[in-house]
Amino acid sequence: MADPKRAPAPADAGTGPSDDVALRIGALRDEIAEHNRRYHAEDAPIISDAEYDALVRELRGYEEQFPELLVPDSPTQQVGGPRSTLFAPVRHRAPMMSLDNAFSADELVAWGERIERRLARGDGNSGATRVVDVEVDPVPEVEPAPDAERTPAGYACELKIDGVAISLRYEGGQLVQAATRGDGQTGEDVTANVRTVGVVPKQLPAGAPQVLEVRGEVYMSTSAFDALQARQRAENLARIEAGRKPNPVAVNPRNAAAGSLRQKDPAVTASRELSMWCYQLGEVEGGPAFTTHSETLAFLGGLGFPVNPEVRLLDTIEEVHAFCERWQQHRHDLDYEIDGVVTKVDELARRELLGTTSRAPRWAIAYKFPPEERTTTLLDIKVSVGRTGRVTPYAQLEPVFVGGANVSQATLHNQDQVKAKDVRVGDTVVVRRAGDVIPEVVGPVLTPEHDARPEWVFPTTCPCSVESVLVRPEGESDTRCVHPECPFQQAGHIEHFGGRGSMDIEGFGEQRVRLFLDLGLIADVADIYSIDWERVRGLEGFGDTAIANLQAGIEASKDRPLANLLVGLNIRHLGPAGAEALARAFGHLDRILAASVDEMASVEGVGPVIAAAARAWFDDDDAHRSLIEKLRAAGLNFAGPEASGEPQTLLGKSVVVTGTLEGYSREEVEAAIKARGGKAPASVSKKTTAVVVGESPGASKVTKAEELGIPVLDEAGFERLLTTGELSA
Ligand code: IVH
């Protein structure tokens, strides 16, 4: 028996549909109808838009191949899906249509050619400039119109807003009704909720048409969505702690907008910061006559409707495609989600000629961007242990192509994130990879199976072989393995030490580090400098050249700047900027080792948190001081090449200079202060040690210093301060 869930083998050209095809068509129709219901009636889709589109395309492909199997109630002939019964039905006077899609440049070009052929057939030559593909759809050859006669700007290109289509109806200038699209003929009355959307005009200026229907997309901005999602996740954590079930969390701005519009209490909608872009007229009575779509947009803008500013009028399909590509690249520059570009024939008379099919106008096409969200199966949740001992849960996924890459793993960040997202092994999950952002598991598709699955439990011991209990300090979101000999941490630390930004040891990547650790050739970072090369010789991949190269890489690393060494030591909170600041201020590792927390904290770019962490690290005599001595013995550079050589008279001091000094440029003043370990901020605060005043000082700085009782010095006083660290002689 054929499996209706799988695509049947293609039928031979010229033959009728096989039973398999008929079966598959039936299965596709059922499946699509079910997804329509979940999407439109429940706001709870269980597959991504891209997967839905693929099903529709497959069905449409069969129906085109075997038109005898096409039936009027096929989902390909309808718009959207059934309504929910929560809100009163509204019959649209002008139907709200869907759009045909193009998924590639070829499909876009084919659409352009199709409409030009039709226009050429319909009105002789209404701006049509190219005729191709004569075999498929024969039309008389048309001479391109001379440039002067060509209709310029044939296409109006707009962003395809990923929101909820809404029709607004105004009578006598008053907003009387707002309705969703529903099945295109009948939608839902969401007037009370749409009234809470700030940008939607409730009353139009005098002179507006007696009846005006405006269509557009209600959406939630990305920033509003991020805030809502964070709020919902935090609420869920509190619920879980109180032993209650978490609420579903919005997985993307479109679903959030749809859910917000479907609230019974408009006050909830009002709290959701919805917005709208308007892009189309519906029924109009008593309005001006328009000749182009772009005129209608300008008219809407004039009446106070929000019209997206990124509309472009373009002449050729090549320009349209370039516009689509540009927005595909820049979609994340916007604070709202777009999933494509809608191209519309601008001239209304030409639209008339082109007409519509039962579900979509022929005069418009939606160029869809590749999906950034897909659903896949969560195969497992594992944890990895980083060099600082941080234990990070991550999702192992059934590989899925999303956002231009194959994704099989995605971080879940920490224990709270797993809880708040409530993802469970076996769930179908939404995976998102947008732009350069790392892949993310957004959340589970909520199904009865999800509820039946056990919640994931964070491990209590480290996956490292040494027995170690994981620790999550009060008030912190990270869980850590605190065992000093945890091999995962060791490996992570050694990789980090040899990595870029630290000692940058050429040819000493993850695999070799793990191999050398496994063979006992190294146990800590200092061992890198005393490897028994005789044992390495003979290992696979270690010929004379490979060994010589690695030795050279290790040798070269001994001369790295002090800041790199500090980064490589793996001191918590100490990143490249803090390390650089410490190296500059103290000039030598020994001086840093001798510095107090306060002295370190007073260096610009080093705060009390870094200072305390560094001090604690250095004070661990057994593990760390001995490591430093091993590194010294190996001949590593401990001196800051940028060491100022100046006495550190200004450690812990903060000096503001205003106006011009005779002996120093602005840069020299700053350098002189920093070279002595001080800070040189731009503004006066109660932490300021002294304010130095030169020619034409900033009045506000002097006034503020006086108000706060901070000593004000002249240039001589400044020089004294530099040499002695004292404020007065
Ligand atoms: S025009 C008859 N313009 O995309 C044409 N639609 O996938 C009506 N959409 O149903 C639609 N941005 O909900 C149009 N600039 C835009 C749009 C847009 C988003 C939505 C709309 C439509 C759906 C089709």
DSSP 290-343: -SBHHHHHHHHHHTT----TT-EEESSHHHHHHHHHHHHHHGGGSSS-EEEEEE
Of residues 125, 180, 127, 112, the one with CA closest to residue 292: 127
pLDDT of residue 653: 85
CA distances from 361 to 111, 119, 201 (A): 12, 14, 27
- The verdict on whether 368 is a catalytic residue reads no
Q: Is the pLDDT of residue 140 over 50?
A: no
Reported as a single tens digit per residue, the pLDDT across 376-429 is 999 999 999 999 899 999 999 999 988 878 999 999 999 999 998 899 999 999
* Residue 381, ligand 1, Cβ within 6 A: no
Nearest CA to ligand 1 atom 21: 165
- Atom of ligand 1 minimally distant from the CA of 164: 13
- Two structure tokens written together for 84: 């929910």
Which residues in 47-149 belong to E strands, given as ranges?
Answer: 89-91, 101-102
* Ligand 1 midpoint to CA 336 (Å): 15
pLDDT of residue 681: 85
* Residue 600, ligand 1, Cβ within 6 A: no
* Ligand 1 midpoint to CA 381 (Å): 39
Calculate mean pLDDT across residues 305-328: 96
Which of 49, 78, 99, 103 to probe ligand 1 with, by most ligand atoms within 8 A of CB?
Answer: 99
Q: Environment class of residue 371 by beta-carbon count within 10 Å: exposed (0-12), middle (13-18) or buried (19+)? A: buried
Half-sphere exposure of 518 (CA within 13 A, CB side): 7
Of residues 651, 650, 655, the one with CA closest to residue 710: 655
pLDDT of residue 587: 86
Q: Is the pLDDT of residue 133 over 50?
A: no
* Ligand 1 midpoint to CA 631 (Å): 65
Which residues in 35-133 belong to E strands, given as ranges?
Answer: 89-91, 101-102
Nearest CA to ligand 1 atom 9: 160
Nearest CA to ligand 1 atom 22: 98
Q: Is the pLDDT of residue 61 over 50?
A: yes
* Residue 367, ligand 1, Cβ within 6 A: no
Residue 293: pLDDT band by 50, 70, 90 thresholds? Answer: very high
pLDDT of residue 368: 95
Of residues 322, 359, 372, the one with CA closest to residue 343: 322
Reported as a single tens digit per residue, the pLDDT across 67-101 is 777 777 788 877 665 555 578 999 999 999 999 99
pLDDT of residue 23: 86
Residue 609: pLDDT band by 50, 70, 90 thresholds? Answer: very high
pLDDT of residue 247: 82
Residue 4: pLDDT band by 50, 70, 90 thresholds? Answer: low
Calculate mean pLDDT across residues 616-635: 91
Nearest CA to ligand 1 atom 13: 165
Using CA atoms, how far apart are residues 494 and 466, in angstroms rounded to an integer? Answer: 18
* Residue 361, ligand 1, Cβ within 6 A: yes
Which of 155, 161, 218 to probe ligand 1 with, by most ligand atoms within 8 A of CB?
Answer: 161
- Atom of ligand 1 minimally distant from the CA of 308: 15
Of residues 160, 171, 256, the one with CA closest to residue 216: 160
Nearest CA to ligand 1 atom 10: 98
pLDDT of residue 126: 41
Q: Is the pLDDT of residue 644 over 70?
A: no
pLDDT of residue 650: 85
Q: Is the pLDDT of residue 729 over 80?
A: no
| ∠ Cα 650 653 656 (to 5°) | 105
Residue 642: pLDDT band by 50, 70, 90 thresholds? Answer: low
The active-site residue out of 5, 160, 558, 674 is 160
- Atom of ligand 1 minimally distant from the CA of 165: 13
Nearest CA to ligand 1 atom 17: 160
Residue 221: pLDDT band by 50, 70, 90 thresholds? Answer: very high
- What phi-psi label fits residue 403: left (phi over 0), alpha (psi between -120 and 50 degrees) or beta? left
* Residue 165, ligand 1, Cβ within 6 A: yes
Q: Could you tell me what percent of the chain has a pLDDT over 90? A: 59
Calculate mean pLDDT across residues 300-326: 96
Reported as a single tens digit per residue, the pLDDT across 684-699 is 988 899 999 999 888 8
pLDDT of residue 585: 85
Which of 342, 354, 357, 363 to probe ligand 1 with, by most ligand atoms within 8 A of CB?
Answer: 342
* Residue 161, ligand 1, Cβ within 6 A: yes
Q: Is the pLDDT of residue 127 over 50?
A: no
pLDDT of residue 532: 95
* Residue 365, ligand 1, Cβ within 6 A: no
CA distances from 392 to 54, 387, 463, 476, 482 (A): 35, 11, 12, 13, 14
* Residue 337, ligand 1, Cβ within 6 A: no
* Residue 366, ligand 1, Cβ within 6 A: yes
| ∠ Cα 169 171 176 (to 5°) | 50
Residue 3: pLDDT band by 50, 70, 90 thresholds? Answer: low
* Residue 516, ligand 1, Cβ within 6 A: no
* Residue 158, ligand 1, Cβ within 6 A: yes
* Ligand 1 midpoint to CA 276 (Å): 13
Using CA atoms, how far apart are residues 712 and 169, in angstroms rounded to an integer? Answer: 68
* Residue 279, ligand 1, Cβ within 6 A: yes
Residue 135: pLDDT band by 50, 70, 90 thresholds? Answer: very low
Reported as a single tens digit per residue, the pLDDT across 165-191 is 999 999 999 999 999 999 899 999 999
Q: What 3-state class would DSSP assign to 26?
A: helix
Highest mean pLDDT among 121-130, 374-383, 644-653: 374-383
Range from 149-153, 390-394, 494-498, 612-616 carrying the lowest mean pLDDT: 149-153
Reported as a single tens digit per residue, the pLDDT across 8-58 is 765 444 567 777 888 888 889 988 888 888 877 777 778 887 888 888 888
pLDDT of residue 353: 92
Contact 275, 220 (CB under 8 A): yes
Residue 249: pLDDT band by 50, 70, 90 thresholds? Answer: confident
Using CA atoms, how far apart are residues 222 and 558, in angstroms rounded to an integer? Answer: 47
Q: Is the pLDDT of residue 633 over 90?
A: yes
Using CA atoms, how far apart are residues 177 and 89, in angstroms rounded to an integer? Answer: 11
- Atom of ligand 1 minimally distant from the CA of 339: 19
* Residue 188, ligand 1, Cβ within 6 A: no
* Residue 160, ligand 1, Cβ within 6 A: yes
Reported as a single tens digit per residue, the pLDDT across 430-473 is 999 877 678 999 999 888 899 899 999 999 999 886 677 899 98
* Ligand 1 midpoint to CA 676 (Å): 63
Residue 1: pLDDT band by 50, 70, 90 thresholds? Answer: very low
Using CA atoms, how far apart are residues 257 and 180, in angstroms rounded to an integer? Answer: 12
* Ligand 1 midpoint to CA 305 (Å): 16
* Ligand 1 midpoint to CA 160 (Å): 6
Nearest CA to ligand 1 atom 7: 99
- Atom of ligand 1 minimally distant from the CA of 364: 5
* Ligand 1 midpoint to CA 307 (Å): 13
CA 93 to chain CA centroid, Å, is: 39
Nearest CA to ligand 1 atom 5: 97
* Ligand 1 midpoint to CA 184 (Å): 12
Using CA atoms, how far apart are residues 569 and 158, in angstroms rounded to an integer? Answer: 53
* Residue 254, ligand 1, Cβ within 6 A: no
Range from 338-352, 386-400, 481-495 carrying the lowest mean pLDDT: 481-495
